[in-house]
Structure 1
Amino acid sequence: MNVLVVKANNRPADQAISSKMYETFMENFTGVEPVVYDLFAEDTPYFGQQYMEVFGKLATGGVLNEEEQRLMAAKQKAMDVISAADLIVFAFPLWNLSIPAKLQTFIDYIYQSGFTFKYNEQGQQVSLMNDKKVILLNARGGIYSTPEGAGLEMAVNYMRNVVTGVFGMQIVDEVIIEGHNAMPAQAADLIAAGLEKVKEVAIRHSKALVTQ
């Protein structure tokens, strides 16, 4: 099994809980060396008009200049690591109610008709990544698991909708650490309990690889 870990936080682990979740997973996942795609270390130009122009150029047989080649290389690398992976781990924070811009860019790279989904003859969307499994590791300082807060949370909900609803991937585990900023007196216990769950997930999936 090929394992991909997408790291979506460049803050140090002693300051960012999702970074600590990433470290905990990596420390306890054994048997296979995961491929790490560090979004803040990779060259990930934002997806926009430049890409549209490159696609148009390619469609008409145009030759890409150096900057255009850079754009396509970044997109292709993201697609390549997703294609090769059987299990994909996303470690990411909730920033301002959503995912980090770097993670959004990664999703934009792979959110492509003919790659992660397609349309059938009836115009219906068909998922193309049904054979891949996903683990979501997320940290959020506020409390969003209540009915009052759930509608504001657009990080985990977004990732769920995209990876399952569009790409067809199966979420096999999900660990969310929340409330450590909202309830500082309970922060240490909340974080410790969440990291223990991350450790359990890493060990369980490591053991599953041995039996395959």
Structure 2
Amino acid sequence: MTNVLVVKANNRPDGVSTKMYEAYMETLKQSDNLNVEVYDTFEEDMPYIGQELFSAFGKLQNEEALNEEEQRLMNAKQKAMDAFEKADVLVFAFPLWNLTIPARLQTFIDYVYAAGFTFKYNADGSMAQLMTDKKVVLLNARGGVYSVPEAQGMDMSMNYMKNVFGGVFGMEITDEIIIEGHNAMPQDAARIIEEGLESVRESARELNSQFA
């Protein structure tokens, strides 16, 4: 059985990336070959990483008890790491907000972006990737058009996700689906969104067929 973790990073009911998530999940339901779990970043308890984390690390090394906030953060971090490690395939459904990813998705990445977990440093200082066998699907929605050359550098959502998962972690990004321009071109929004959602469904069908 192939384990799929779908990370949902939008809590707007009418958000386009929410619709992408729903279309992907609805299609995956047709499969008996996939064990699908959801990590909803807006439902999980996800305290930000800060001094509490480094304090907790120090206390753990010295076998000291953690305070309530330190334990809360360590529990949240471990839950994300466990879900991440278990997955064979990672699917991220996320919007472009203010040119970047939602803060809660960033927090999830902060939890798993850890030396000794997703990568390590060799004796010579070079980086070794530890989870290169995982596959990644990226589902992104953005109301403007950022695929044109003059705007590509402004997108710090899809570019960032690709740099982290495909670059630092060395995972295979098997699919990238972007729905864009629906806010910039409202007269074409319905068509843009539906065409994009069909691409999302096709991506889910392909995933299912790979592990049939």
Establish whether residue 126 from structure 1 lines up as the match of residue 128 from structure 2: yes
In the TM superposition, residue 197 of structure 1 has moved relative to its aligned partner by 0.1
- 2:165 corresponds to: 163
- Name the stretch that deviates more: 51-60 or 162-171: 51-60
- Name the stretch that deviates more: 96-105 or 57-66: 57-66
RMSD over aligned Cα atoms? 0.8
TM-score (norm 2): 0.96
TM-score (norm 1): 0.96
Aligned positions of 1:27-46 closer than 5 A: 27-29=26-28, 30-31=31-32, 32-46=34-48
- 1:6 corresponds to: 7
2: CA distance between counterparts of 1:42 and 1:159? 20
- 1:204 corresponds to: 206
1: CA distance between counterparts of 2:192 and 2:54? 44
Which residues of structure 1 form unaligned runs of 5+? Answer: none
2: CA distance between counterparts of 1:33 and 1:133? 15
Aligned-partner SS, 1:34: strand
Instruction: Spell out, residue by residue over 1:150-192, the C-alpha distance to the aligned partner (whole angstroms, 9 max, x if none).
Output: 0100000000000011111110011000000011111111101
In the TM superposition, residue 33 of structure 1 has moved relative to its aligned partner by 3.7
Instruction: Report % sequence identity.
Output: 62
In the TM superposition, residue 133 of structure 1 has moved relative to its aligned partner by 0.2
Aligned-partner SS, 2:182: coil
1: CA distance between counterparts of 2:195 and 2:80? 32
Which residues of structure 2 form unaligned runs of 5+? Answer: none
1: CA distance between counterparts of 2:143 and 2:187? 13
- 2:189 corresponds to: 187
Establish whether residue 178 from structure 1 lines up as the match of residue 165 from structure 2: no
2: CA distance between counterparts of 1:65 and 1:120? 33
Instruction: Spell out, residue by residue over 1:66-119, the C-alpha distance to the aligned partner (whole angstroms, 9 max, x if none).
Output: 322111000000000011000000000000000000000000000000000001
Aligned-partner SS, 2:123: coil
What letter is aligned with 2:147?
S
In the TM superposition, residue 39 of structure 1 has moved relative to its aligned partner by 0.4
Instruction: Spell out, residue by residue over 1:22-58, the C-alpha distance to the aligned partner (whole angstroms, 9 max, x if none).
Output: 0000000122241000000000001111111111111
- Name the stretch that deviates more: 55-64 or 124-133: 55-64
- 2:20 corresponds to: 21
Establish whether residue 144 from structure 1 lines up as the match of residue 146 from structure 2: yes
What letter is aligned with 1:52?
F
- 1:55 corresponds to: 57
Aligned-partner SS, 2:138: strand
Aligned-partner SS, 1:83: helix
Contact 2:100/2:156 (8 A) holds in 1: yes
